[in-house]
Structures are given as structure tokens and as C-alpha cells.
């Protein structure tokens, strides 16, 4: 008995029928926009999603680039502002220094004009801080009328005080022996009691001056802060120029005199400008105005 091996086959009519079904479905899809599988919608979704992804990536890269550029600009602006602020602060400091300098020079000018004796305004240009021989050098000399032994004064904190005296004169510069030089002995008086003594230094501007030869019996009449002034004797300095104030009084059993420490009226560490005075000539600055 023979087996029937005939497989499943489409007839021509069936194939034509299926073809028309497929064609009809495709035409129906593109004409009505709807079908079991909406290919038009699927295509739009795929392409729009891809386009959105591309847009998101490009937009993200663009934002990153813009952020980097903006950050660079902000950093540049910040550096410029910091530089301007530093320049402004420097300008403020410079203006403050200029104002202080102008104030100091104005006080010096008023002091110079108000002094009865002829005087020459000078500036300190160097300092010899040797403990044994301490000197100051000023920027005025014989060409400016300065002579040896002329007293040197200064105006500081509203006080006229003694700086020292001229000991050496050059053509354009002069040397000043300050009151704290150990070789400078100044005849002085205690202002309120008028007791006479001698003031000398220890060679160091930071050390107090020493006043000697004040009798012990006047100790009860003395007080801390009493002013010491020049006596005007020996023709070295004008009278009643402030030297300093009493800061310490020591009574020694073996000595008939008091040991008195004097704080200079002038702060030599801040001293810049001085006045060299000629006591033998009158100041004609105000007279000529």
C-alpha cells in the first residue's frame, strides 16, 4: 500500500487571495492611518525618539561648553575685581600716607614760622646707632646756613622738643649729636621747681636719659611726669625747650644727689624731620608777609 507524501501546498487562488489581503491592508494603513500595527506611527515614534536623543545630547554638550565659557569669564571677572580691589586698597593706603605726610609737614611749617629764631627745616637721611657714638645725619649743610653747635629741635605730638646739636657741618649735609649720645651733656632744669641739673644719654634712643646733680632734699617736691627743660645756660641751647619727663626717681644712700630717669619728649624711632635753629638771628619769615 503506497503512502501519500503530498505536503501542504497553496493553490494559485489562495496565493492571489493572500496577496490582495496584504495589498489591501497596506493601502488601508496608509489611507486611514490605523491598523493592527500602525507602521506610520511606529516610524514616527522611532525617528522622533532618535531625534530627541540627539537633541538632548547636543543640548547637553552645548550647555557644558557654555558653562565652561561662563566659568572662565567669571574667573576672569573675579581676578579683575581682585586686582582692582588691591589697587584701590593700595591707593587708599597711599592717600592715607600722603595725608599724614602733609599733616606732618604742615605742622613743621607752622612750627618753623612760629619760632622766634631763624631756623632751617631739615630731614634725617641716616642714623648711626652705635651705642658709644650715636649720631644723626641731616640733608642740610653750610650752603643752607647751618653752623656748628646750632641746636636741633623737632615738633612732635604737639610738643616742641630738643633733638640735639650740630657737631659737624658739610657743604650739603650735617651731623647731629642727639641728646641720647653719651657725650652730649645738656644743662637742664625741672620745670616746676627750677632745680638745676645735667641731662645726658646712654647712647641708645630706646634707653631713658639720666639727670644728675639734683639734691636729695627736693625729692618730696618731685613727681613722675614732671617736665625737664633746657636751662639756657652755657649758650648752647635756648631756654625752656622740653627735653623729657621724669619716669623714675632713685635715692642712693652713698650719693648726695638723686638719680633721675627721664623719658625723652621726642620719639626718636619716629623722628623724620627736624628744625636747626640759629639763636643769634631772628626769624623774618612772618615779618616779610
Q: What is the pLDDT of residues 221-230, one digit of tens each?
A: 999 999 999 9
Q: Is the pLDDT of residue 175 over 70?
A: yes
Q: Is the dihedral of CA 106, 176, 189, 218 positive or negative?
A: positive
Query: Which grid coordinates are listed for 223?
Result: 613727681
Mean pLDDT of the 168-186 span? 93
> What percentage of the chain carries pLDDT values higher than 90?
37
Mean pLDDT of the 62-74 span? 74
Under DSSP, the state recorded for 142 is: G
Q: What is the pLDDT of residue 116?
A: 72
Mean pLDDT of the 201-223 span? 91
Q: Is the dihedral of CA 75, 76, 77, 83 positive or negative?
A: positive
Q: What is the pLDDT of residue 93?
A: 67
Strands (E), 102-241: 117-129, 134-138, 151-156, 159-169, 174-178, 186-190, 196-200, 209-215, 227-230
Instruction: Return d(Cα 84, Cα 213) in angstroms, integer.
Output: 62
C-alpha distances in Å from residue 80, one per residue of 77, 83, 84, 90, 92: 5, 5, 6, 15, 18
Determine how many CB atoms are found less than 10 A away from the CB of residue 190: 22
Mean pLDDT of the 130-140 span? 81
Q: Are 260 and 247 in contact (CB under 8 A)?
A: no
Q: What is the mean pLDDT of the chain?
A: 79
Q: What is the pLDDT of residue 118?
A: 82
- CB within 8 A of 245, min separation 6: which ones? 224, 225, 226, 227, 228, 262, 263, 265
| pLDDT bucket at 86, cuts 50 / 70 / 90 | confident
Q: What is the pLDDT of residue 288?
A: 44
Q: Are 232 and 240 in contact (CB under 8 A)?
A: yes
| pLDDT bucket at 189, cuts 50 / 70 / 90 | very high
| pLDDT bucket at 287, cuts 50 / 70 / 90 | very low
Under DSSP, the state recorded for 88 is: H
Largest CA distance in the chain: 168
Least confident of 8-17, 77-86, 143-152: 8-17
Amino acid at each position: 500500500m503506497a503512502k501519500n507524501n503530498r505536503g501542504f501546498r497553496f493553490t494559485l487562488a489562495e496565493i492571489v487571495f493572500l496577496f490582495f489581503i496584504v495589498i489591501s491592508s497596506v493601502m488601508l494603513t496608509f489611507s486611514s492611518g490605523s491598523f493592527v500595527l500602525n507602521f506610520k506611527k511606529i516610524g514616527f515614534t522611532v525617528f522622533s525618539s532618535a531625534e530627541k536623543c540627539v537633541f538632548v545630547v547636543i543640548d547637553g554638550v552645548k550647555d557644558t561648553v557654555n558653562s565652561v565659557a561662563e566659568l572662565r569669564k567669571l574667573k576672569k571677572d573675579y581676578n579683575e575685581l581682585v586686582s582692582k580691589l588691591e589697587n584701590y586698597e593700595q591707593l587708599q593706603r597711599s592717600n592715607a600716607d600722603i595725608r599724614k605726610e602733609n599733616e606732618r609737614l604742615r605742622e613743621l611749617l607752622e612750627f618753623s614760622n612760629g619760632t622766634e629764631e631763624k631756623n632751617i627745616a631739615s630731614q634725617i637721611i641716616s642714623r648711626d646707632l652705635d651705642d658709644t657714638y650715636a649720631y644723626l645725619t641731616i640733608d642740610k649743610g653750610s650752603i643752607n646756613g647751618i653752623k656748628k653747635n646750632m641746636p636741633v629741635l623737632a615738633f612732635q605730638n604737639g610738643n616742641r622738643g630738643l633733638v640735639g646739636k650740630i657737631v659737624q657741618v658739610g657743604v650739603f649735609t650735617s651731623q647731629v649729636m642727639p641728646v641720647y649720645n653719651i657725650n652730649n651733656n645738656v644743662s637742664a632744669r625741672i620745670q616746676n621747681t627750677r632745680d638745676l641739673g645735667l641731662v645726658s644719654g646712654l647712647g641708645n634712643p630706646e634707653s631713658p636719659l639720666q639727670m644728675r646733680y639734683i639734691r636729695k632734699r627736693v625729692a618730696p617736691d618731685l613727681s613722675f611726669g614732671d617736665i625737664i627743660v633746657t636751662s639756657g645756660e652755657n649758650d648752647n641751647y635756648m631756654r625752656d625747650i622740653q627735653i623729657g619727663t621724669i619716669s623714675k626717681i632713685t635715692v642712693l644712700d652713698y650719693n648726695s644727689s638723686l638719680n633721675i630717669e627721664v623719658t625723652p619728649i621726642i620719639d626718636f624711632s619716629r623722628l623724620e624731620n627736624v628744625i636747626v635753629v640759629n639763636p643769634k638771628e631772628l626769624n623774618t619769615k612772618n615779618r616779610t608777609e
